[in-house]
């Protein structure tokens, strides 16, 4: 007789001979009786509909019909949490690899020491950006505005502006890039300027000036540092418009003009510390008048006889 033959028998899985043997056995009658009796057994009553109603009622009471909904905000929360986690990790790495950046506001100046002890003096309303991490392999920075560089000797040192690139090995030079105005002045050593895909070598004591897209020859600087380092702004044959722009930057004021030819060239200096003096320095040689009120200056044509 096969294993678990009683179970097989109940399931009608015995072979004919097995069944015959089993039916002939002593216990067969007893088993048959048990099975017959068990077939008449009934489990306690269970009313499916009543149970369903109980469930529904309990459901509405404990509000677990909407329990599906509370799951959603939780998921939403997880989603947001995941995004925040990603952002945090991302920004951590991003900030870590982020370039150093220094900015000056109007009428502000700042000095920066680069990782190799090169000095950068940032004139008003300017910005330099460089990667401190990569400084050892690549001495490069980006400039918006004007800055004076005292570069420690070493590998190529590159200043990139939107107008052109200035590359040096170790020297002192000034770079100014303002809208439609690009000026590089070399005070020591040799500076290579790349402007509009052209390379210009600038030996000490030379300036490279581009105004409105045209290269203008400039006189050699006489000083060892740009004048603004001594709180003076110096100009040589520069259109008045740029002079006034510089005045705005140095004092954080608004300059307006009336009946004035701002293209006329200006040669001279103005003080970066004394506004009254500066205004006089500009207006007198240009034979114009000015009016100062609060943070506004109006230059207007004087009554020329």
- Compare residues 38 and 96 and give the one whose CB is closer to other proteins: 38
Smallest gap from Cβ 58 to other proteins, in A, equals 7
**What is the Cα–Cα distance from 282 to 251, expressed in whole angstroms?**
14
The continuous run of DSSP H or E covering 143 comes out as: strand 139-150
Q: Let me know: does 139 contact 158? Beta carbons within 8 Å.
A: yes
Residue identified by tokens 């290269």 is: 215
Smallest gap from Cβ 83 to other proteins, in A, equals 21
Residue identified by tokens 């007893």 is: 30
Binding mask 61-100 for other proteins (x = CB under 8 A): -x-xx-xx--x-----------------------------
Question: Which one of 52-60, 172-180, 241-249, 289-297 is the stretch in contact with other proteins (CB under 8 A)?
Answer: 52-60
- Answer yes or no whether residue 24 interacts with other proteins by CB under 8 A: no
Residue identified by tokens 């380092």 is: 229
Q: Let me know: does 151 contact 157? Beta carbons within 8 Å.
A: yes
Smallest gap from Cβ 28 to other proteins, in A, equals 10
- Compare residues 12 and 213 and give the one whose CB is closer to other proteins: 12
Smallest gap from Cβ 46 to other proteins, in A, equals 4
Among 15, 20, 23, 30, binds other proteins (CB under 8 A): 30
Q: Let me know: does 103 contact 111? Beta carbons within 8 Å.
A: no
Q: Let me know: does 111 contact 120? Beta carbons within 8 Å.
A: yes
Residue identified by tokens 């179970």 is: 7
- Answer yes or no whether residue 304 interacts with other proteins by CB under 8 A: no
- Answer yes or no whether residue 192 interacts with other proteins by CB under 8 A: no
- Compare residues 71 and 84 and give the one whose CB is closer to other proteins: 71
| DSSP assignment of 199-266 | EEEEETTEEEEEETTEEE--PPP-SSS-GGGGTEEEEEEEEHHHHHHHHHHHHT-EEEEES--TTSEE
Question: Which one of 30-38, 133-141, 199-207, 248-256 is the stretch in contact with other proteins (CB under 8 A)?
Answer: 30-38
Question: Which one of 3-11, 111-119, 174-182, 208-216 is the stretch in contact with other proteins (CB under 8 A)?
Answer: 3-11
Under DSSP, the state recorded for 305 is -
Phi, psi of 281 (to 5 degrees): -60, -30
Among 23, 59, 99, 295, binds other proteins (CB under 8 A): 59
- Compare residues 73 and 90 and give the one whose CB is closer to other proteins: 73
Smallest gap from Cβ 75 to other proteins, in A, equals 9
Q: Let me know: does 4 contact 10? Beta carbons within 8 Å.
A: no
Q: Estimate to the nearest angstrom the gap between the alpha carbon of 169 and the chain centroid.
A: 30
Smallest gap from Cβ 110 to other proteins, in A, equals 58
Binding site for other proteins (CB under 8 A): 3-8, 10-11, 27, 30-31, 33-35, 37-44, 46, 48, 51-52, 54-55, 58-59, 62, 64-65, 67-68, 71
């Amino acid at each position: 007789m096969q294993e678990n033959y009683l179970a097989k028998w109940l399931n009608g899985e015995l072979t004919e001979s097995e069944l015959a043997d089993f039916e002939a056995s002593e216990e067969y009658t007893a088993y048959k009786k048990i099975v017959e009796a068990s077939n008449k057994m009934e489990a306690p009553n269970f009313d499916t509909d009543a149970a369903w109603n109980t469930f529904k009622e309990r459901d509405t009471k404990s509000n677990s019909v909407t329990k599906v909904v509370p799951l959603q905000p939780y998921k939403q929360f997880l989603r947001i949490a995941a995004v925040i986690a990603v952002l945090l990790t991302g920004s951590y790495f991003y900030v870590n690899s982020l370039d150093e950046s220094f900015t000056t506001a109007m009428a502000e100046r700042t000095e920066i020491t680069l990782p190799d002890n090169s000095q950068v003096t940032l004139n008003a309303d300017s910005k330099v950006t460089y990667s401190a991490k990569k400084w050892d392999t690549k001495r490069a920075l980006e400039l918006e505005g004007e800055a004076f560089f005292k570069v420690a000797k070493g590998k190529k040192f590159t200043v990139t502006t939107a107008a052109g690139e200035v590359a040096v090995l170790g020297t002192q030079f000034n770079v100014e890039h303002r809208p439609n105005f690009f000026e590089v002045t070399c005070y020591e050593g040799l500076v290579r300027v790349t402007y509009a895909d052209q390379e210009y070598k600038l030996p000490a004591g030379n300036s490279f000036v581009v105004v409105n897209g045209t290269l203008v020859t400039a006189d050699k600087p006489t000083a060892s540092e740009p004048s603004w380092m001594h709180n003076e702004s110096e100009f040589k044959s520069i259109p008045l418009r740029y002079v006034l722009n510089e005045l705005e930057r140095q004092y954080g004021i608004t300059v307006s003009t009336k009946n004035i030819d701002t293209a006329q060239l200006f040669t001279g200096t103005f003080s970066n510390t004394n506004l009254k003096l500066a205004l006089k320095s500009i207006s007198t040689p240009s034979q114009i008048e000015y009016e100062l009120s609060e943070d506004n200056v109006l230059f207007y044509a004087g009554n020329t006889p």
